Structure 1
Amino acid sequence: MKFRVERDVLAEAVSWTARSLSPRPPVPVLAGLLIRAESGTLSLASFDYEISARLEIAADVLEEGTVLVSGRLLADICRSLPSAPVEVTTDGSKVTLTCRNSRFNLATMPEAEYPELPRLPDVSGVVDGEAFAQAVSQVIIAASRDDTLPILTGVRLEIEDDLITLLATDRYRLALREVSWKPSTPGISTTALVKAKTLNEVAKTLGGAGELNIAFSPDSELIGFESGGRRTTSLLVDGDYPKIRSLFPETTPIHAMVQTPLLAEAVRRVSLVAERNTPVRLAFTEGQVTLDAGTGEDAQASEVIEAMLDGDDITVAFNPQYLGEGLGAFNSPYVRFSFTSPPKPAVISAQDEATGDDRGDYRYLLMPVRLPNQ
């Protein structure tokens, strides 16, 4: 095998494909990248039995062939090379990379032992990549990071015709975001539970390439994403996701509207004195909300900012990290808090200042911290 390609193109392709490599592969060959050169095209692939990644780039192929080499080492080498064309050749069990005066020899891995990559299922529909990436970023903050509860480390995708609903929860908060898409089959109805980490990687690396193809396998075991000549597949998380939609209250008699950046900054400042497992308290009254944290002889902080209140005065307390992450997920100038009572979950949503309407495509439900007098 022998090919030549620009260093920046090769480095970016190797880096993206190597992202899917497991730090502790179940078998040694899965630490490798499978590189195939043929008829002016270079394909790179990685697989760890759960996630696969594959892309194609144009290259000057002088001799066709296939080789398996250590993915992480190759990525490190490509990043370190000078900005110039890279020539890659194979000679027996060695691969040689030459770039200007730099030369690296790598040992090959047994290609025959490499498993066959799963095929991308038929495309189920197309979504705007940027819109999908934004939806993912807003929802994954609520996914659990506790691997002892694998189901809650996933994001549930609910597809009903031309609408995708993303849901995630860690039992203390819940995020829901809706995004439109164009299904290949009108009236499609299906669900998928995808690891939040995998979905985040897809959103970050494929979301900016325009339209994103999403493919569901007929056996509901695999999901695939494809955009800009790159494709990745992932096994779905197995198990029954809790029915969390019912946690959203049907009626909320108390509403408060606050400027998003003002509140986010106030929460950040006041929470500096909130020690581990202590909340930030928000007291909503007509025209303002008072934030405070800290108790007794410990450090204390408070801040007052403007707020519009519709309903009775209410005081609630939240985990400052969960509240801060939730506010950071909104890109609207105002957020709306919807309450039933202090001990019950609060719902935060984007607020349209001009009309006062609740923009319901993204909702963030947060469990309050119970105060002593509640």
Structure 2
Amino acid sequence: MKIRVNRDVLADAVAWAARVLPSRPVVPVLSGLLLEAGDKLSLSAFDYDVSARATVDADVAEEGGVLIPGRLLAEISRSLPAEDVEIVTEGPEAVVTCGSAEFGLITMPVEDFPALPTMPPAIGAVGGGVFASAVSQVAPASSRDDTLPMLTGIRVDVDGESVTMAATDRYRIAAREFTWRPAGPGVAVSAMVPARVLVEVAKSLRGGEVSVAMGDGVAGFESVGRSTTVRLLDEQFIDYRTRLSSDWSIRADVRVTPFVDAIKRVALVAERNTAIRLSFTQGQVRIQAGGGDIGRGSEVVECELRGDDIQIAFQSQFLLDGLTGIESELARINLESPSRPALIQDVPGDGQPAFRYLVMSLRQS
């Protein structure tokens, strides 16, 4: 194999593919990136659960393939000077040359690299911006506890032109609904996709559309020359729709930016795992924290309250995760009592809110 490729293009593609490389591979070849040169250059990584493939333009003098230690190639490619990079296979080495810099990397047997999963059939497509926004809104509510795999995923429910993403860690539920372009009429699919994979896909989007594929226990995502597949989790999930559709006797509308800024300031004096206290009265909400060994903080923000005055407390980061998911100027906080959860949602001009976030309240001392 002999190729020449732009340094920035190579470094970007290598870094993107290398993100799925396992830190402790069960077999050595899984630590490698497979480079295949044909009409274009493709770079692939696979850990038996998640695969990633990036395709970029390159000048291909000799076609072929080579398996190179992925993390090392990522470190080298981003440190090279701003010149074109040449990669040539010479016996057991892949020689990487850029300007006067040259590296001879020991390769691994290409034939030992496992075949990547076949991309399942496409079920629809959505704009990259909408996809990334939806993932960023719901992913914070997913759990990091691998002992409960169901809670580490994002539920994706497809019903024709409507898609809902939802996640929960038992202490909060986040859901976002959006419209998309289904691949055909009557598409109806439900699946649990690992949240970490959706987050990585969303981070790497560079515009355009995301094509979503599902089938045979695998989900696939393609956008602008990059594709990812991942094994789906068990489909078991809570009935989140019922939990998000309760009636609420108290409603407070507050401007998101000043409210978030005030919570962050007051939280500076909140000790670990202590509550942020919100006191809603007519025309305002008072944010309070602290009172222990560190100190205390308090700030008032304007709000429009419908219903009785109420004081309620939340874990500060859980509260902020919900508020920062709001895309409208105003956030609506639906309340019932200090001991019940609160529902945070955007305030749309018309129709139902696209984003909803249910968060448990904390007992106040």
* TM above 0.5: yes
Contact 1:289–1:307 (Cα < 8 Å) also in 2:
yes
Aligned to 2:50: 51
- Deviation track 1:219-266 (CA, whole Å, cap 9, x = no partner) reads 2x1000011111110001125112232222421111011111111011
Q: Does 1:17 align with 2:52?
A: no
- Higher mean alpha-carbon deviation, 286-295 vs 235-244, is at 235-244
Q: Conserved in 2, the CA contact under 8 Å of 1:349 and 1:358? A: no
Task: Verify the 8 A CA contact 1:336 1:358 in the aligned structure 2.
Answer: no
Work out whether 1:334 is the aligned partner of 2:336: no
- 245-254 vs 102-111, which deviates more? 245-254
Q: Could you tell me which residue of structure 2 aligns to residue 294 of structure 1?
A: 290
Secondary structure of the residue aligned to 1:3 is strand
DSSP 3-state at the match of 2:353:
strand
Matched, 1:226 2:222: yes
Deviations along 1:257-304, whole A, 9 cap, x unmatched?
A: 111111101111111121122101111111111111123665111111
Q: Is the 8 A contact 1:156 1:191 kept in 2?
A: yes
Match of 2:272 among 269, 276, 279: 276
Q: Does residue 1:252 correspond to 2:248, yes or no?
A: yes
Q: CA deviation at 1:189?
A: 1.1
- What residue in structure 2 maps to residue 116 of structure 1? 115
1:59 deviates by 1.4
Aligned partners of 1:20 and 1:53 also within 8 Å: yes
Corresponding residue number in structure 1 for 2:30: 30
Alpha-carbon distance between aligned partners in 1 of 2:75 and 2:109, rounded to the nearest angstrom: 21
CA distance in 2, matches of 1:159, 1:224: 15
Runs of 4+ in 1 over 4 A off after TM superposition: none
Question: Which residue pairs with 1:214 in the alignment?
Answer: 212
1:304-361 superposed Cα distances (whole Å, 9 cap, x missing partner): 1111110111111111111122212223211111112221111011125xx6x68510
Per-residue deviation, 1:132: 0.7
Q: Encode CA deviations 1:29-73: one digit per residue, 9 max, x unaligned.
A: 0100111112x3111111100011112212111111111110111
RMSD, aligned α-carbons: 1.5
Q: Indicate conservation of the 8 Å contact 1:167/1:177, yes or no.
A: yes
Task: Provide the rounded CA distance (Å) in 1 between the counterparts of 2:81 and 2:363.
Answer: 58
Match of 2:84 in 1: 85
Which residue identity does 1:326 align to in structure 2?
G
Aligned 8 A contact 1:174 1:365 in 2: yes
Counterparts of 1:166-177 in structure 2, within 5 Å, are 166-177=165-176
User: Does 2:362 correspond to 1:369?
Assistant: yes
Find the counterpart in structure 1 of residue 310 from structure 2: 314
User: Match of 1:60?
Assistant: 59
Q: Distance in 2 between matches of 1:97 and 1:291?
A: 57
Q: Secondary structure at the match of 1:25?
A: coil
Mapped pair 1:304 → 2:297: no
SS at match of 1:317: strand
Q: Secondary structure at the match of 1:124?
A: strand
2:354 match: secondary structure: strand
Runs of 5+ unmatched residues, structure 2:
none
Cα distance between partner residues in 2 of 1:63 and 1:297: 69
Check conservation: 2:280, 2:311, Cα contact below 8 A.
Answer: yes
Aligned partners of 1:144, 1:22: CA distance in 2, in Å?
20
Is 2:193 aligned against 1:194? yes
The one-letter amino acid of 1:351's match is: V
CA displacement at 1:183 relative to structure 2: 0.8
Q: Percent identity?
A: 49
> Following the alignment from structure 2 to structure 1, what is the Cα–Cα distance between the partners of residues 293 and 40?
68
Contact 2:96 2:102 in 1 (8 A): yes
Contact preservation (8 Å) 2:83, 2:98: yes
User: In structure 2, do the counterparts of structure 1 residues 44 and 298 end up closer, same or farther at CA, with 3 Å as the change threshold?
Assistant: closer
- Structure 1 window deviating more from structure 2 (292-301 vs 93-102): it is 292-301
Alpha-carbon offset, residue 76 of structure 1: 0.8
Q: Which residue type is aligned with residue 164 of structure 2?
A: T
Task: Give the drift of 1:158.
Answer: 0.6
Distance 1:359 1:172 in 2: 24
Structure 1 gap ranges (5+): none
